[in-house]
Chain A
Amino acid sequence: MSGEVAAITMANRPAVAAAAMKDAAITALVAAGLFIPIVGLRTDVGADGALFVRQRWDDVAILVVLAFFGRLGLVTWRGLRGERRPASAARAEALRRAGTFVAPLLLGLAVALPFIPGTGRYELDLGILVLTYVMLGWGLNIVVGLAGLLDLGYVAFYAVGAYSYALLATTFGLSFWICLPLAGIMAAFWGILLGFPVLRLRGDYLAIVTLAFGEIIRVVLINWVSLTGGPNGITGIPRPTFFGLPFSMSGEPGTFAGFFGIEPSPVHRVIFLYYLILALALLTNWVSIRMRRQPLGRAWEAMREDEIACRSLGINIRNTKLTAFAIGAMFGGFAGAFFATRQGFISPESFTFIESAIILAIVVLGGMGSQIGIAIAAMVMIGGFEVFRDLDEYRMLVFGGVMVLIMVVRPRGLVGSRTPTVALGTRRAIGAEHVGQGRG
């Protein structure tokens, strides 16, 4: 299977067609080798408890034929498309101009969503879910996108935030607004705790230790039954109140509906939660943008571009790394507290490695460091995941496949341009490939 196929012209058409057919035939052969054992021979537990094999040759045949024509189509398309032309300056300019409208448009849509006619409970819940991931993406972006430190255990801070809120609220009866900063502080503290041992580690050593950290937190949450309730989790977490006014259906003066004199409705709480997570996400975004203009944020970006140069210029690498971990973790903690109050129930099930992987994927698919890109990636990944609910067991399969596909087609993420933080003269958007990726 040679990867490159010559562009199709009139003269070489038969030769190219033959090559494409051969290519597709080899693909079909490989597909047969892959699918015959796993798909064709399904093992099932029989009545006597022993395994027996059920043969499914029609499924294998369908898959092999699909592989054949899929490859044939791909090769033909590549041949017809020919050399890809570099993007012209005019097109880039038009894209940039369109890009400036995307962010305000999305923000306006997000603010107005609860009042758009036809928006029901389901749409709001989906909006809350997407915004939670947008916030987590922006939080992780501080660590991965700005500071260039690869963190595969971000979900640990999400878990710390959620459990902090749940435990503080159920044990001491503290309100959400007191617990929220506490949960953030707890998560930031754990961020620093993780930061210390990994200060000297680079690249993939850092990745595995952060992954291990996430797993340690999860295993402890499962096994420390007296504190966390173990696998059963914590139930009865207080639902949020509107600054002290509970969302109750009774309509008494002390409730939200009674205080404002409106008809009690269960949607009020959902709308409140929606605006709460929107505000938290925008706070994360605002802090990230402001941080990039502060000495600390500039130190993060300098560290990502070149750690040695950064150190030579007298920047304290230790503090820079620890603050990146701490501030990134803090936003994870806020999101965790929000998650706990929204669900009313948390268990270690919600904080597996796959969550970390999804958040990291959102950051990378969005184009690391691009705020709007991360929001779009979260919408595509999480929204798409919910929309394809009907696929049932194939849903995760498609989800993983889309992750691979986006990366292969757009390795630098969906948004391929950045506006540099500092520039001589006017600031212009540059290609993402000019931005360092960090080695930490």
Chain B
Amino acid sequence: MAYALQQLINGISLGMIYGLIAVGYTMVYGIIGMINFAHGDIFMIGAFIALISIVMLVSGGIMEGPAAILIVLLVSMCVTSLYGWTVERIAYRPLRGSFRLAPLISAIGMSIVLQNYVQVAQGARVKPIEPLVPGGVTVMQAEAFVVQFSFMQMMIIAVTLAVLAVFTWLVTRTPLGRAMRACEQDRKMAGLLGIDTDRTISLTFVIGASLAAVAGTMYLLRYGVIDFYIGFLAGVKAFTAAVLGGIGSLPGAVLGGLLIGLIETFWSAYFSVQYKDVAAFSILAIVLIFMPTGLLGRAEVEKV
């Protein structure tokens, strides 16, 4: 029981990170119908920007505590958004309206570029940092097992919830959100009604990238080590989460992220660590056999 509770806490905090990345995938998919393969690498860049700013700020002794984390988060979000914007501008916008596989290949190429760019610029070695938020509270004590809810995990969950709340407000309550939803439904019609679709799509990438930056910062704080390759696996998992939840559905992405996080932690805790990815992918395949459009996805209406 206590062991399961601990896994629940670990799984939710991991799932939140996946959920944040998955939102970026699902938003881009909803609006231009392409898999943004470079999104995992945008997440990796977010983690690197956070790492660099932590080394500059905290290790330099300029600032510490929650204020420093806030600054790190903001810097990472700004710079990563710029990367997201640039990627869209260079690799996807020229292919708007082109056939389906062209942006996919372009995205895979961009993913290779970003990965190797960071490897060349920052080196291939793993980068460790000191834990910034130590300590935690003991939730429960059963026999010899202590259930820990660390401040780090609390922070991940709190920050993610706050960011998701702002994001939901942005999508449902603001003119930009309305433009985004309109573009998602019918891009041509939205354009005819005076929405600058190119700008809306660019902003979608910017928002997606800043969410990925939050995820990257949280990942860095949680694990304490990153390298240039973390983007691939996290990206694939988050994409799996987006598909599991029903691609194009924003609550679905968060739900899918949580599910993938929980499946992974529980599988590693009770069965085997080596096969945790197999478990996540198999559950994806099984869910899709019975629900071909994911958990919360809308069934696509085919018109003849």
Interface of A toward B, CB cutoff 8 Å: 1, 3, 30, 33-34, 37-39, 41-45, 49-53, 144, 150, 197-198, 200-205, 207-209, 211-213, 215-216, 219-220, 222-223, 308-309, 353-354, 357, 360-361, 364-365, 368, 393-394, 396-397, 399-404, 407-408, 411-412, 433, 437
Contacts and interface: CB of A to CB of B under 8 A. Distances in A.
Contact of B281 (A44, A150, A215): A215
Contact of B55 (A53, A204, A354, A402): A53
A357 to B, nearest CB: 5
Interface string B104-130: 111011111101111111110101111
A407 B59 CA distance: 43
A204 B243 contact: yes
Contact of A200 (B121, B240, B292): B292
A53 B52 contact: yes
B86 interface: yes
Interface string B276-304: 01100110111011001110000010101
A222 B274 CA distance: 9
A222 B240 CA distance: 21
Interface in B236-294: 236, 239-240, 243, 247, 274-275, 277-278, 281-282, 284-286, 288-289, 292-294
Contacts of A399: 112
Contacts of B284: 208-209, 212
Interface of A is mostly: helix
B277 A215 contact: yes
A411 B123 contact: no
B240 A38 contact: no
A400 B45 contact: no
B232 interface: yes
B304 A361 contact: no
A291 to B, nearest CB: 21
A408 B120 contact: no
22 contacts: A37-B79, A38-B45, A51-B129, A53-B52, A53-B55, A53-B56, A202-B292, A204-B243, A205-B243, A205-B293, A208-B243, A360-B108, A364-B104, A396-B116, A397-B113, A397-B116, A400-B109, A404-B91, A407-B102, A408-B94, A408-B106, A433-B99
Given A3-B93, A407-B106, A408-B91, 11 more contacts: A34-B79, A38-B52, A41-B56, A197-B288, A208-B35, A216-B278, A219-B277, A360-B105, A364-B101, A394-B120, A397-B117
Given A3-B93, A209-B285, A408-B91, A308 B128 contact: no
Contacts of B277: 215-216, 219
A30 B82 contact: yes
Nearest to B244: A208
B116 A393 contact: yes
B116 A400 contact: yes
Interface string B41-67: 000010011011101100100000000
B56 to A, nearest CB: 6
Given A34-B83, A38-B121, A308-B302, A357 B108 contact: yes
B109 A407 contact: yes
Contacts of B59: 50-52
A155 to B, nearest CB: 13
Contacts of B120: 393-394, 397
A437 B98 CA distance: 11
Contacts of A198: 288
Given A37-B52, A353-B232, A400-B110, A365 B105 contact: yes
A75 B89 CA distance: 15
Nearest to A31: B86
A411 B113 contact: no
Interface string B63-93: 0000000000000000100110010011101
Interface residues of B, number: 73
A101 B95 CA distance: 31
Nearest to B110: A404
Contacts of B149: none
A407 B95 contact: yes
Nearest to B53: A37
A29 B110 CA distance: 21
A205 B99 contact: no
B100 interface: yes
B285 A197 contact: yes
Nearest to B290: A200
B55 to A, nearest CB: 5
Nearest to B276: A219
B29 interface: yes
A403 B101 contact: no
B283 to A, nearest CB: 10
A207 B243 CA distance: 10
B281 A400 contact: no
Contacts of B122: 38, 42-43
A403 B110 CA distance: 8
A208 B240 contact: yes
A229 to B, nearest CB: 15
Contact of B49 (A38, A52, A215): A38
Contacts of A354: 112
Contacts of A213: 281, 285
Closest 7 CB pairs of A and B: A403-B109, A400-B112, A212-B281, A400-B113, A411-B98, A411-B102, A404-B109
Contacts of B115: 396, 400
Given A1-B89, A197-B285, A45 B128 contact: yes
Nearest to A208: B243
A437 B240 contact: no
B95 A51 contact: no
B86 A30 contact: yes
Nearest to A352: B232
Contact of A396 (B102, B104, B112, B129): B112
